[in-house]
Structures are given as structure tokens and as C-alpha cells.
């Protein structure tokens, strides 16, 4: 009896084992059969044209940016730009061996990461003058007109397309600097701050190019015999003078020195949205690349832009927010159709399902480390396909 | 008693695992379960599945059945049964072929003889319909002059589950009646996933949740006559009526969106309420037992799906059509049990059934033809009626015309049936 029960039990166990193993190997991937019975999710694409935006203007903080624009160029589309650079060496510690007239003083400018702006066939000449009034790199604005002594040049140089330029500075200027370095009084730092104002790098009037030295690698040098000592930059900045500022009747004009930026809101458009399953909301802007390209003479170049930003104003003042805070949305240029696409889905969903809190965006170009960028976009007067718009994709 | 307690515990563990598994991606059933409240499920036992019949006129104390409440009054033993099935669907449409598989718990049933061979109580939890599908595709849409692509997936799970407590009463040797009220839960979830294939992939999911509950009633009757043509034969008639189940169902559609840098579940449609119903079902059958070891059965059931409601979608409601199911089967128990041999404790069932289906899509009836075979393994211990039933079904459903799906279905069903003398005092230990 016991033997026969074991046989039955073995049979049961065998069948159960097959079933259990079968259950574990029965997983199949979701497959594509059945699309005619179970309809796929449907999507609907709508276009909402953005009509409401306002142009605005500010000047930027021009101090201590990565690149310092130098030069002068009259852009046929965007007008004349003239940049005067300002630099001041740090005050070295009191040396064991005093700096004297056997030491030479030089300015080293590195040009290794930026294309120039303007005529690529021409050289550009600069004169260097002593600045005659106090300025601070932490607060200087591009519109601040800092005075310098044009009667006496303390150096000059010409630039074509070199990686590095080393400029001899006048002995008189160096000795003035050396007085502060050699000064052992306790108030030497404050004297240096309040009495020594650095130098101005001024383009000659005939210039037709703007260059952007890399200020993270530029510095001053003291050379005594074969010994060379690097002298860091205490602060730098620039002053911009504009001529023939452009006014575009039928284009959106953006300049990264905040000469032109825009405020806009998507609130009115969001209120028109019926379907609440928003899969994508994308804000499109189309660059007028033909006009920007055709406006330049042969052999002239203008820095390309590739990024565009939408920002909220944070608790800081607007100028600071636009220049230094992180954007809410970033767009990279699609070179196929020169469009910029912002994925603003989350912002539109905030309107539909909540309260976005901040509603006003600012559209601007990146400060781009100090390199000058300007461009234009099609506005509400353009062909519908090129107007600023939201492409809204909703689902069922 | 310990055996039944252990059985219930194991069943609940398996049930929870099975429910979890049903939500796993990659496991799905028929694509036709996407309509209404899902695909209707026959509540016949595994033995009756092997026999190809509905179980309305078959009474086997070793294999309790949900099919006809009238038989619950005939038990001597307390009986507990749990059924599982693994089903593989080889699916094909005009463009593609594929496979779906589904492992699920079929039912749990406990039958207690309140009065031996007179009055019995059945408690059960079993599915009435099942929704289980998972279909993906790549789609295109126009955006200006460009054509973009997106991936779409729709996966549904759930259905109607019935908690039923019923009584069966044997009026006399030839007449049995039963009544089973139940409370039914409608729980369905459809997940729609959409991923754009251009640029940054952003996952969009929409969950449609449908819930409801409703009462229902089932009645059964069985009549038998012995010694018609011989001393050992018997003819048994069984019939059942299941009244419609009506739900005032609620549907909400939610999605997860990023609001204020956080993922938040939001309602993307207003909550909707609608009437949903499962229709009247009337079934009847005859089983003729030649000599106690061989029997034949012929049964049929009519379901009035023309009157079924699905208020959430008129389009889906309109595809419902009346359903008829016909089954014919033979059962043979060739040897007597207790011989000590494994094969001598096996019942054999075979049958064929035709299900006209409850859907008519694009003028095509979604019917199913089933071929069944089953075995019942009886416990060699004469003091118990425990058994294990195993059935294999092969079915052909649907068509590939009119963008529909043809399914070749292979199903393995297993039930474990444990019996015990729970309420009877043993005279000897």
C-alpha cells in the first residue's frame, strides 16, 4: 500500500513541477499584434501663435567676464560697436629684491578660444593708455565711460590672428606700479586701490575687427634678466560705445549684451488649451539666418549663436538675473531649419493643473563669457510657418 | 481542518502572486478582452473544462464545481478547491505574428456539508470576466513638413471578480436546487504609454481606472433519473440562471505630470460614472452515465449580451452580441481505484465546445472552437475524495480579416481539490 501511494505521489509531483516551471517560462514580451483591435494612443497637434511679447533694453555688468571684447566694428546689420578694455594688475607682495628700472613690465593676452568678429583680412591696432579714474570690475557696466589719458601711450600692439600677444608697457607706467609694490607701509593696499587705476586698451579709429582675449589665461609679466614673474589680473572690464543701434520693424532682435531682450508670457495661450493630456508643448523661434548671413561683406564674420534661453527673474535685479542665473529653459539651434525649440511642457502643465507662480519669461541670448552675439528672429508678421509659436501635442 | 487551513493560506499566497503577475508587462491574454468589462470566463471546473462542457449537469464529489449551485447539497466531505491556468496565445493579424502568455489563478472554492448529502454551503472567489492585453506599436504623425514617430503601448488588466456564498439543497433523491447570491467587484486598469521617438524621449503614461461593485444572484436546479436502460445508468439534467449584474461604475483618468519640479498624479478627465452590466445567462445540460464509470454530456448556455450595458463607450457597447456556448464531452474512468497503481486512479475526459462569443467586430463574430482533454487524478486513500484535475484545451478564435486578430490558444488548467471530514466525529482514531 505504502509503495503504491509513493507512485501516485511521484506522478502528482511530476505534473506539478511541469506546471510550475511552465508558469515561470511563460513570460512573453508585449507584442505588436492587435493594433487593429486595440487602437494605438492617438495624438493631436495644434499650433498656437505667440502674439504678445515686449522688447526691453539694459546694459550688462562688463567686469571679470571670461572674455574681454576689444576692438571696433561697424556691423552692417547691427550697427557700430567700439570696445575699450580695462585691466589692472594685482598688487604683488613686497619683494626681497625691489622692483626697479632694470625690470620690464609686459601685458600678455591669450586669444585661444574665440573667433574674431568683423573683417578677417585686416589687422587691428590698439593703443594702451593709463586710466585716470577709479573703477571696480565687480560693478562696472558696459555703458560706464571710464576716463583715460590719451596724451601718453604706455604701449601699443597689432593683432591679426595670433594665439598670444605680449605687449611691452612703458617704463614710466611700470615704475608707478613698482612704487606700490615696493611700498612697505601698512596702507599700501588701500593706496593701490584708490590711486592706481590700471590701463585702457583702445582700438584705433580705423579698426574693423573685434577680438575676445581669454582673460582666464591673460596676465601681466615682470621680467628681470632671465627671470619672469607672472602678475595676475586684479580686475578687468570693458566699455562699449554704440553707433547706429538697429531698429527692426519686423524682426525679433536679440543682443547678448542685453541691448535687446524680450519679456513674454504663455498664460493667454495656456488658457485656450482644452485637452488636459498635454504630451508636449514646444515653443519655436526661427532665426532669420539668410538676412544675418547676407548682411556681411565677404571675408567678414560674426560669431554664431547656438543657444537661446528663457529665464524667470529671480530675487536679484533683472540685469543680474539675465546675466548670471540659470535659465528655466534652454534651446539649442537646429541647423536644419535654424529653429530654436524650447520644451515648455512642464510650464504649460503648471498652468493647466496648478499655478505656475512666475508667469513672465525673459528671452535672451547667453552672455557667452563676454563674446558679442546678435541675431534676429522672424516675428508675428512673418509667414505662419516661421512665426513664434507653441506646437502643442495632446493625446487621448 | 489543518489541511483546509493550510490550503486557504497557500491559495491566498498564490492569489496575491498571481494578481501581481497579471500586472507584469509581457504577460497578457486575449486582445479581445479590451472591450467593455473584459472577456467573459466560464466558471466550470477544470474537470469540466477537460470534458468540454459547462458543468451544469455534472456532479462529481471529488471535483467541486461552481457551475451549478444545486450540486452543493450532495457533499459528504468538506471540499476545498483552487484552480490555476496557464494559457498561451499564438496571435496573428494581417501584418504580424506573436505570442502572449498568461498565468493566473482561476478560482478558489470551499464547499461545506452543513447537513450531509442534504444541505451544503459554498464560498468562492472567482473571476467573471478578465481583462488582460498588452499591445505595442510604432506610429507616425505629421508635424509641419516632417513626419515624426512615437511608440504606443496599451495594456489592460483586471476584470470582474465575484465573491459568492451559496447554498445547495437536495430536496429528494431526484431533485436538487441551489441559490448563490454574490457581490461582484469591477476593477480595471488600462495603462496607455506613449514615447516620442524624436529628440528627447519623454515618457507619457495615462491610467484609466474603472471601478464598481454590484450584487447578483444565481439559481440552479438538477433532476436525475436512475435505471433508465440498465440497473446502473442515470440521466441527469442541470440548469442554471444567472441574473444580470449591474454596476454603477466610476472611471477616472489620471496621468503623472511634472508640476513644480515634482511628479504629481493629476486627473486629465473629469471623473465619469456610468451604468455597466453583465447580462442574464441561462444554461442547461444533460449527462447520461452508462454505468458509473462512463458518461456523456451535452450542454448549452445562452447569454443575453445584446442587453449588456457599457455606459463609458457606446462604441464598445455596440459590439456586444448575444452569446451561445455549446459543449459535448465524454468521461471515462476505466479502472477502479484503490488498486495501488497510478494509472488506475485516473479519470479521462475529452470533449469539444463551440463559443459564439459576445463580440461582433466589423461584421465578424469572434467565436472560439475548443478541443479539450483532461485527466483527474484521484487520491488512492479511500478515506478521502481529494483529487487533482488537469485539463488541456486547444482553441481557435477570431480571424485575420478586417484588421482583426486570429488566436490559437493552448491552455493548461490545474485544480487541486482537497476533501476532509470536517464536521463529522470520527468513531475510530
Q: What b/e readout covers B403-413, taking b as 16+ CB neighbours within 10 angstroms? A: ebbbbebebbb
Q: Does residue B150 sit at the A interface (CB-CB below 8 Å)?
A: yes
A21's CB contacts (< 8 A; 6+ apart) are none
Distance from CA of B133 to the nearest CA of A (A): 9
Between the alpha carbon of residue B342 and those of residues A368, A369, B334, B338, the distances in Å are 85, 87, 13, 9
Please write the tens of the pLDDT for every residue from A7-62.
555 555 555 555 554 544 444 456 788 888 888 888 899 999 999 899 999 999 99
Percent of chain B with pLDDT over 90: 66
Q: Does residue B24 sit at the A interface (CB-CB below 8 Å)?
A: yes
Which residues share a beta bridge with B83?
A: B107, B415
| Among candidate residues B411, B350, B339, B340, the one with its CA nearest the CA of residue B376 | B350
The helices-and-strands tally (H runs, E runs) of chain B is 3, 20
Q: Do B204 and A30 touch (CB under 8 A)?
A: no
N residues, chain B: 429
Predicted local distance difference test score (pLDDT) of residue A313: 82
Please write the tens of the pLDDT for every residue from B237-264.
999 999 999 999 999 999 999 888 889 9
Cβ atoms < 10 Å from Cβ of A293: 11
Helix/strand/coil for B381: coil
Q: Do A35 and B93 touch (CB under 8 A)?
A: yes
Q: Does residue B117 sit at the A interface (CB-CB below 8 Å)?
A: no
Q: What is the mean pLDDT of residues A266-272?
A: 92
Which among B103, B194, B266 is the nearest to A23, CB-wise?
B103
d(CA A247, CA B110): 86
**pLDDT level of residue B131 (50, 70, 90 thresholds):** very high
Predicted local distance difference test score (pLDDT) of residue B19: 40
Interior angle at CA B338, CA B121 and CA B228, nearest 5: 65
Helix/strand/coil for B315: helix
- Please check whether residue B379 is in contact with residue B357, taking contact to mean a CB–CB distance below 8 angstroms: no
Q: Does residue B354 sit at the A interface (CB-CB below 8 Å)?
A: no
- The pTM of this model reads 0.81
DSSP string for A316-364 = S-HHHHHHHSPPSEEEEEETTTTEEEEE-HHHHHHHHHS--S--EEEEE
Contact map slice: B 38-67 vs A, CB within 8 A: none
Q: Do B102 and A26 touch (CB under 8 A)?
A: yes
Q: Do B31 and A34 touch (CB under 8 A)?
A: yes
B252: cell is 477616472
Please write the tens of the pLDDT for every residue from B292-306.
789 999 999 999 999
Please write the tens of the pLDDT for every residue from B33-52.
999 999 999 989 999 999 99
d(CA A254, CA A262): 8
pLDDT at A238 over 90: yes
Q: Dihedral of CA B27/B29/B35/B38: which sign?
A: negative
Q: What is the mean pLDDT of residues A124-141?
A: 96
pLDDT at A336 over 80: yes
Note whether ipTM > 0.90 here. no
Please write the tens of the pLDDT for every residue from B161-184.
999 999 999 999 999 999 999 999
How many Cα atoms occupy the beta-carbon half-sphere of B102 within 13 Å?
A: 27
Tell me the Ramachandran region of residue A311: left when phi exceeds 0, alpha when psi lies from -120 to 50, beta otherwise. Answer: beta
Please write the tens of the pLDDT for every residue from A97-123.
777 778 899 999 999 767 899 999 999
Residues of A within 8 A of B150 (CB-CB) are 43
- Please check whether residue B127 is in contact with residue B160, taking contact to mean a CB–CB distance below 8 angstroms: yes
Residues of B within 8 A of A279 (CB-CB) are 194, 196, 202, 204
d(CA B62, CA B376): 9
Please write the tens of the pLDDT for every residue from A287-330.
999 999 999 999 999 998 989 999 988 767 899 999 988 999 99
Residues of B within 8 A of A36 (CB-CB) are 93-94, 402-405
Q: What is the mean pLDDT of chain B?
A: 88
Please write the tens of the pLDDT for every residue from B408-418.
999 999 999 88
- Please check whether residue B153 is in contact with residue B134, taking contact to mean a CB–CB distance below 8 angstroms: yes
Pinpoint the alpha helices (H) of B207-345: 314-318
| Among candidate residues B62, B81, B96, B74, the one with its CA nearest the CA of residue B7 | B81
Q: Does residue A45 sit at the B interface (CB-CB below 8 Å)?
A: yes
Residues of B within 8 A of A16 (CB-CB) are 414
Predicted local distance difference test score (pLDDT) of residue B406: 95
Please write the tens of the pLDDT for every residue from A174-222.
999 999 998 888 899 999 999 999 999 999 989 999 999 999 999 999 9
Residue A58 is inside which H or E element, if any?
A: none
Q: What b/e readout covers A360-373, taking b as 16+ CB neighbours within 10 angstroms? A: ebbbbbbbbbbbbb
Taking CB atoms within 8 Å and a gap of at least 24, the contacts of B378-384 are: B378/B62, B378/B337, B378/B345, B378/B346, B378/B347, B379/A8, B379/B345, B380/A4, B380/A5, B380/A8, B380/B337, B380/B338, B380/B340, B380/B345, B381/A5, B382/B337, B382/B338, B384/B77, B384/B418, B384/B419, B384/B420
Predicted local distance difference test score (pLDDT) of residue A17: 56
d(CA A306, CA B131): 50
d(CA A51, CA A389): 8
- Please check whether residue B273 is in contact with residue B248, taking contact to mean a CB–CB distance below 8 angstroms: yes
Q: What percent helix, strand, coil does chain B show, rounded to 5?
A: 10, 60, 30
Amino acid at each position: 500500500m505504502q509503495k503504491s501511494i509513493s507512485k501516485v505521489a511521484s506522478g502528482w509531483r511530476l505534473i506539478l513541477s511541469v506546471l510550475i516551471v511552465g508558469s515561470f517560462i511563460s513570460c512573453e514580451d508585449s507584442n505588436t499584434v492587435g493594433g487593429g483591435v486595440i487602437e494605438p494612443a492617438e495624438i493631436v497637434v495644434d499650433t498656437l501663435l505667440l502674439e504678445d511679447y515686449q522688447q526691453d533694453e539694459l546694459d550688462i555688468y562688463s567686469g571679470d567676464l571670461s572674455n574681454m571684447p576689444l576692438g571696433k566694428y561697424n556691423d552692417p546689420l547691427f550697427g557700430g560697436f567700439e570696445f575699450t578694455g580695462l585691466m589692472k594688475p594685482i598688487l604683488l607682495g613686497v619683494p626681497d629684491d625691489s622692483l626697479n628700472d632694470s625690470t620690464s613690465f609686459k601685458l600678455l593676452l591669450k586669444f585661444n578660444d574665440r573667433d574674431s568678429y568683423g573683417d578677417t583680412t585686416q589687422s587691428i591696432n590698439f593703443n594702451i593708455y593709463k586710466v585716470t579714474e577709479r573703477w571696480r570690475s565687480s560693478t562696472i557696466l558696459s555703458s560706464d565711460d571710464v576716463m583715460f589719458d590719451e596724451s601718453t601711450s604706455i604701449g601699443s600692439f597689432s593683432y591679426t590672428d595670433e594665439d598670444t600677444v605680449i605687449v611691452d608697457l612703458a617704463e614710466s607706467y611700470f615704475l608707478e606700479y613698482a612704487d606700490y609694490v615696493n611700498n612697505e607701509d601698512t596702507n599700501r593696499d588701500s593706496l593701490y586701490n584708490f590711486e592706481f587705476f590700471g590701463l585702457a586698451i583702445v582700438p584705433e579709429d580705423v579698426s574693423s575687427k573685434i577680438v575676445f582675449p581669454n582673460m582666464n589665461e591673460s596676465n601681466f609679466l615682470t621680467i628681470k634678466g632671465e627671470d619672469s614673474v607672472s602678475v595676475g589680473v586684479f580686475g578687468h572690464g570693458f566699455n562699449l560705445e554704440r553707433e547706429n543701434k538697429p531698429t527692426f520693424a519686423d524682426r525679433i532682435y536679440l543682443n547678448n549684451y542685453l541691448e535687446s531682450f524680450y519679456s513674454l508670457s504663455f498664460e493667454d495661450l495656456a488658457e485656450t488649451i482644452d485637452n488636459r493630456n498635454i504630451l508636449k508643448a514646444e515653443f519655436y523661434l526661427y532665426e532669420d539666418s539668410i538676412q544675418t548671413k547676407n548682411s556681411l561683406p565677404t571675408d567678414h564674420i560674426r560669431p554664431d549663436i547656438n543657444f537661446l534661453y528663457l529665464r524667470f527673474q529671480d530675487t536679484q535685479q533683472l540685469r543680474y538675473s539675465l546675466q548670471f542665473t540659470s535659465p528655466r529653459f534652454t534651446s539649442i539651434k537646429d541647423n536644419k531649419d535654424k529653429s530654436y525649440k524650447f520644451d515648455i511642457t512642464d510650464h504649460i502643465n503648471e498652468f493647466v493643473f496648478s499655478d505656475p507662480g512666475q508667469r513672465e519669461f525673459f528671452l535672451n541670448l547667453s552672455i557667452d563669457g563676454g563674446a558679442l552675439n546678435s541675431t534676429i528672429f522672424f516675428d508675428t508678421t512673418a509667414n505662419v510657418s516661421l512665426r513664434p509659436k507653441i506646437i502643442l501635442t495632446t493625446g487621448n | 481542518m489543518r489541511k483546509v487551513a493550510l490550503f486557504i493560506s497557500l491559495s491566498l499566497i498564490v492569489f496575491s502572486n498571481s494578481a501581481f503577475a497579471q500586472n507584469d508587462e509581457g504577460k497578457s491574454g486575449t486582445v479581445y478582452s479590451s472591450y467593455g468589462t473584459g472577456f467573459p470566463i466560464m466558471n466550470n471546473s477544470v474537470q469540466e473544462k477537460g470534458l468540454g462542457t459547462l458543468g451544469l449537469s455534472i456532479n462529481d464529489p471529488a471535483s467541486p464545481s461552481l457551475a451549478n449551485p444545486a450540486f452543493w447539497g450532495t457533499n459528504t466531505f468538506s471540499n476545498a478547491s483552487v484552480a490555476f491556468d496557464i494559457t498561451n496565445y499564438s496571435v496573428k493579424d494581417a501584418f504580424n505574428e506573436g505570442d502572449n502568455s498568461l498565468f493566473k489563478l482561476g478560482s478558489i472554492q470551499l464547499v461545506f456539508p452543513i447537513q450531509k448529502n442534504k444541505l451544503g454551503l459554498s464560498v468562492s472567489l472567482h473571476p467573471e470576466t478578465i481583462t488582460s492585453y498588452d499591445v505595442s506599436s510604432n506610429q507616425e504623425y505629421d508635424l509641419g513638413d516632417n513626419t515624426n514617430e512615437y511608440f504606443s503601448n496599451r495594456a489592460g488588466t483586471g476584470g470582474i471578480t465575484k465573491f459568492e456564498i451559496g447554498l445547495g439543497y437536495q430536496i429528494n433523491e431526484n431533485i436538487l436546487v441551489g441559490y448563490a447570491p454574490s457581490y461582484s467587484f469591477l476593477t480595471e486598469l488600462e495603462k496607455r504609454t506613449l514615447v516620442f521617438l524624436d529628440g528627447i524621449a519623454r515618457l507619457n503614461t495615462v491610467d484609466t481606472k474603472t471601478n464598481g461593485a454590484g450584487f447578483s444572484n444565481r439559481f440552479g436546479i438538477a433532476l436525475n433519473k436512475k435505471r433508465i436502460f440498465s440497473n446502473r445508468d442515470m440521466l441527469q439534467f442541470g440548469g442554471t440562471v444567472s441574473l444580470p449584474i449591474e454596476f454603477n461604475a466610476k472611471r477616472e483618468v489620471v496621468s503623472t505630470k511634472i508640476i513644480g519640479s515634482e511628479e504629481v498624479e493629476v486627473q486629465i478627465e473629469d471623473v465619469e460614472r456610468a451604468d455597466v452590466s453583465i447580462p442574464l445567462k441561462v444554461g442547461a445540460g444533460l449527462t447520461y452515465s452508462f454505468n458509473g464509470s462512463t458518461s456523456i454530456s451535452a450542454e448549452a448556455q445562452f447569454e443575453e449580451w445584446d442587453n449588456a450595458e457599457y455606459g463609458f463607450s457606446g462604441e464598445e457597447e455596440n459590439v456586444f452580441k448575444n452569446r451561445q456556448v455549446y459543449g459535448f464531452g465524454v468521461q471515462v474512468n476505466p479502472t477502479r481505484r484503490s488498486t495501488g497503481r497510478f494509472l488506475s486512479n485516473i479519470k479521462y475526459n475529452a470533449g469539444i465546445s463551440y463559443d459564439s462569443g459576445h463580440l461582433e467586430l466589423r461584421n465578424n463574430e469572434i467565436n472560439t472552437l475548443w478541443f479539450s482533454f483532461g485527466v483527474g487524478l484521484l487520491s488512492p486513500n479511500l478515506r478521502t475524495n481529494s483529487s487533482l484535475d488537469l485539463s488541456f484545451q486547444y482553441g481557435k478564435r477570431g480571424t485575420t480579416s478586417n484588421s482583426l486578430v486570429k488566436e490559437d490558444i493552448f491552455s493548461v488548467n490545474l485544480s487541486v481539490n482537497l476533501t476532509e471530514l470536517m464536521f463529522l466525529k470520527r468513531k475510530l482514531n
